[in-house]
Structure 1
Amino acid sequence: MKKYVTYRRVSTAEQGRSGLGLDAQDRDIKLFLETYSDTPLEVVGEFLDVLSGKDDDRPQLAKAIEMAKRLGAELLVSKLDRLSRRVSFIANLMEDPKLSLRVAQMPYADKFQLHIYAALAEQEREFISKRTSAALAAAKDRGVKLGGMRDATMKRNKVVKANAQRRADKVAGLIIPLREAGRTLREIAGELNNAGVKTARGGAWQASQVKRILERLEAAA
């Protein structure tokens, strides 16, 4: 019987975004099992990491890998970047002769092909990050102010929330690409500060403020 250990990973900010949330990963894994897997099959373990910090903090992935190797099962993920966004980490998994890996969205890909894809994806994320940084620098040169929009005289909660959402939407095009490129909350805050983008109160960005913006965007999605 074919055995699988499934692994899913989301961050707090990713859970509501199409293509990255749990529902999308569940859909892809189910489609693979129903369409591409040998039968009979059994899912012997299911693991989930919900992250809010560094990409390296994946305790459930370690357990999933251990179980897959111990039971001779295949480790199944929906997308390759659910394992990691770093090609070096994925390369180490590929080199483990005791671990068999399958990616639902690439059902026929072997380890060599997955390694190439991981390297190309890392290059793409690096390019996106550099492109976004260039856009931030250009906005700074033009004197564009993306923060400081809060009107201190507003007292009604509805108005305050509406303004907060508008501010979140305005910086979304800068913050989300950096997050999807694998930048941490602290790194995103640093990019915004380096580009001269101010917060709503005209101050410097902190990781906690970036997190609140991402959560607000998620809630509005």
Structure 2
Amino acid sequence: MQEYVVYKRVSTQEQGRSGLGLEAQERDIGLFLDGFSEVPYAVVATFTDILSGADSDRPELTAALDVCRKTGATLLVSKLDRLSRKVSAIAALMDDKRLTFRVASMPYADKFQLHIYAALAEQEREFISMRTRAALAEAKAKGKKLGGLRDKTMKRNAVIQANAAARADKVAGIIEPLREAGKPLREIADHLNKARVATARGGQWQASQVKRVLDRLSSAE
């Protein structure tokens, strides 16, 4: 029988929003167990940390890992960032010969793919942070004082624009070569979906979304 130890993590802010963070993780884990797990299976234990993703002291994760190592059960999380947002931490878990883990939202991903995904996600977060700081510095250099309701809106808009630009840059390596090869927008969207590259909202790509990314990449040149 396949045995699992389920681990969930939410920040105090997510938990404050009526537990929606936990509900989403429970939903994804349930979908994995029902549609992708070997059968029969059993969930032998469940652990939940309520703390920031940047917090390295996670007592419930430590307990979950201990159970997995002792019993041979597989650690199951809803998303890779529930384990950690650091590539080094993910790599250390992958190198642990006494541990196996699965990611519910990426049911077919092997260790190599998970490592690449973690690295890309870390790069994206770093780039978004840099892009946001640059956008705010540019606004300040143009004489716009950052303060008050209007300027808070400007800050928020700058962050949104920076995030959108970072996401466009992330998929440029897939979209631009296909477009240069003459592939239609719909076919490019199909390639992204087959590669399991999610949109900003975690959905499927459409031709119109591919066009928006191409337009954004073109305007950034």
TM-score, structure 1 length as denominator?
0.65
Between the aligned partners of 2:70 and 2:23, the Cα distance in structure 1 is 28
**Residue type matched to 2:24 in 1?**
A
2:93 paired with 1:107: no
Q: Determine helix, strand or coil for the equivalent of 1:14.
A: helix
Q: CA deviation at 1:14?
A: 3.3
Between the aligned partners of 1:168 and 1:43, the Cα distance in structure 2 is 46
Query: Deviation string for 1:89-115 (max 9, x for gaps)?
Result: 100000001101100011111112211
Query: Deviation string for 1:3-46 (max 9, x for gaps)?
Result: 000111111233478xx811111111000001000111111111
2:78 paired with 1:84: no
Between the aligned partners of 2:145 and 2:157, the Cα distance in structure 1 is 14
Q: Determine helix, strand or coil for the equivalent of 2:13.
A: coil
**Residue type matched to 2:9 in 1?**
R
Between the aligned partners of 1:122 and 1:171, the Cα distance in structure 2 is 23
Shift of the 22–98 alpha-carbon distance from structure 1 to 2, 3 Å rule, reads same
CA contact (8 A) 2:54 2:85 kept: no
CA contact (8 A) 1:101 1:111 kept: no
In the alignment, what sits opposite 2:8? 8
Aligned residues: 161
77-86 vs 130-139, which moves further: 130-139
Q: CA deviation at 1:141?
A: 1.1
**Residue type matched to 1:76 in 2?**
L
Q: CA deviation at 1:68?
A: 1.1
In the alignment, what sits opposite 2:187? none
Between the aligned partners of 1:85 and 1:53, the Cα distance in structure 2 is 7
In the alignment, what sits opposite 1:46? 46
CA contact (8 A) 1:55 1:84 kept: no
What does residue range 112-191 of structure 1 map to in structure 2 within 5 Å?
Answer: 112-148=112-148, 171-172=155-156
Structure 1 runs (4+) deviating above 4 angstroms are 166-178
CA contact (8 A) 1:51 1:57 kept: no
Higher helix share: 2
Between the aligned partners of 1:115 and 1:42, the Cα distance in structure 2 is 27
Between the aligned partners of 1:14 and 1:168, the Cα distance in structure 2 is 22
Query: Deviation string for 1:44-64 (max 9, x for gaps)?
Result: 111111114842121111111
CA contact (8 A) 2:85 2:122 kept: yes
TM-score, structure 2 length as denominator?
0.65
Q: What's the % identity of the aligned pairs?
A: 63
Between the aligned partners of 2:14 and 2:142, the Cα distance in structure 1 is 31
Query: Deviation string for 1:131-175 (max 9, x for gaps)?
Result: 1111111121123234245xxxxxxxxxxxxxxxx9876654567
CA contact (8 A) 1:29 1:77 kept: yes
Between the aligned partners of 1:167 and 1:137, the Cα distance in structure 2 is 13
Shift of the 113–146 alpha-carbon distance from structure 1 to 2, 3 Å rule, reads same
In structure 2, list runs of 5 or more residues that go unmatched. Answer: 164-221
Between the aligned partners of 1:6 and 1:104, the Cα distance in structure 2 is 10
Q: Determine helix, strand or coil for the equivalent of 2:38.
A: coil
In the alignment, what sits opposite 1:27? 27
